């Protein structure tokens, strides 16, 4: 039987005069994912029905967005949620979490990096999550460069705890991390002050473009540091709003061609706001991806 390992050892494959590397082959096999925040309202009303629609559109994996605070996955215990995923031919290799420094109604939020992280990691393992992602820093969690160094320190600690369960911690960017302070970028602080093996990055391609930065340059400067992408397009208007993948101005082909340098393992469609039914929007996105990117 030919295994993945033996295939890799065999080196390149020559077919019809075209040279394909093992990396090309496995890039084509990457499953197309959806960040469930895109359909958050539907998930709040009908988890199983929403996941069935996602699967029917051709998505194979999803990324979670709601564990923090409730310490449940869309109102369900880990084992029960994993069962619903499996019933819909889906898996969830990645999920979003919060830092937890900001108090909510005067109280700490459980299931965050700073509060009851042990349970969050253990629950993630039960679902089969491979990547736990710090999703966002509230205004009060940003501060100056010294505070970003504090955040980096907490990420290192959280990443060490994840490692014990065979999970990789990541950090998901917006655009505020690329606003310079004293000629330094907070994003560079997060990259340089964290252990590259304990903390990797989920690059949101919309936000990095909105910040005026080049994703490919980041890959070249930090090879292998970006196992996760968010595929989110930017419309060609003065507002630079969200739009379906392939409908905007971001050159996804160029970015995906450098995925081996980035270290990409999974990517997820995400559209924070849609003009109408989000299922219509994600259908447009996945159709474009199937036709043009994978």
Between 1.10.260.40, 3.20.20.150, 3.40.50.720, 3.30.70.20, what CATH number should domain 28-292 receive? 3.20.20.150
Q: How far apart are CA 132 and CA 158, in angstroms?
A: 10
CA dihedral 58, 61, 65, 66 (to 10 degrees): 100
Dig out the tokens for 46 from the structure: 């009908």
Q: Do the bridges between strand 32-35 and strand 266-269 make them parallel or antiparallel, or are there none, so unpaired?
A: parallel
Quick one: which of 136, 129, 131 has its CA closest to 100? 136
Ranges of each domain in the chain: 28-292
Dig out the tokens for 251 from the structure: 């050159």
Dig out the tokens for 44 from the structure: 């709040």
Q: Are 14 and 25 in contact (CB under 8 A)?
A: no
Give me the tens of pLDDT residue by residue for the chain, a chain 294 residues long.
333 333 333 333 333 444 444 444 444 578 999 999 999 999 999 999 999 999 999 999 999 999 999 999 999 999 999 999 999 999 999 999 999 999 999 999 999 999 999 999 999 999 999 999 999 999 999 999 999 999 999 999 999 999 999 999 999 999 999 999 999 999 999 999 999 999 999 999 999 999 999 999 999 999 999 999 999 999 999 999 999 999 999 999 999 999 999 999 999 999 999 999 999 999 999 999 999 998
Q: Are 266 and 227 in contact (CB under 8 A)?
A: yes
The pLDDT of residue 28 is: 57
The pLDDT of residue 23 is: 40
The pLDDT of residue 289 is: 98
Q: How far apart are CA 32 and CA 61, in angstroms?
A: 6
The pLDDT of residue 29 is: 73
The pLDDT of residue 20 is: 41
- Its pTM surpasses 0.95: no
């Amino acid at each position: 039987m030919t295994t993945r390992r033996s295939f890799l050892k065999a080196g390149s494959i020559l077919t019809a005069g075209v040279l394909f590397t093992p990396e090309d082959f496995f890039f084509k096999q990457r499953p197309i994912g959806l960040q469930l925040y895109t359909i958050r309202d539907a998930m709040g009303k009908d988890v199983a029905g929403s996941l069935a629609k996602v699967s029917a559109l051709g998505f194979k994996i999803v990324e979670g967005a709601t564990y923090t605070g409730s310490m449940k996955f869309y109102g369900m215990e880990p084992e029960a949620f994993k069962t619903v995923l499996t019933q819909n031919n889906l898996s969830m290799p990645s999920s979003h979490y919060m830092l937890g420094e900001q108090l909510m109604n005067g109280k700490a939020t459980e299931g965050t990096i700073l509060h009851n992280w042990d349970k969050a990691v253990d629950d993630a393992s039960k679902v089969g999550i491979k990547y736990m992602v710090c999703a966002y820093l509230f205004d009060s969690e940003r501060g100056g460069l010294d505070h970003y160094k504090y955040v980096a320190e907490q990420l290192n600690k959280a990443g060490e705890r994840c490692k014990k369960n065979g999970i990789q911690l990541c950090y998901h960017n917006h655009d505020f991390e690329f606003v310079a302070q004293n000629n330094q970028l907070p994003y560079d602080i997060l990259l340089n002050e964290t252990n590259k093996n304990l903390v990797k990055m989920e690059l949101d391609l919309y936000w990095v473009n909105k910040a005026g930065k080049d994703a490919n340059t980041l890959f070249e400067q930090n090879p292998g540091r970006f196992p996760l992408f968010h595929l989110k397009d930017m419309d060609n208007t003065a507002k630079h709003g969200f739009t379906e993948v392939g409908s905007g101005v971001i050159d996804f082909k160029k970015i995906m061609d450098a995925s081996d340098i980035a270290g990409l393992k999974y990517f997820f469609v995400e559209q924070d706001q849609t003009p109408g039914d989000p299922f219509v929007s994600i259908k447009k996105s996945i159709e474009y991806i199937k036709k043009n990117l994978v």
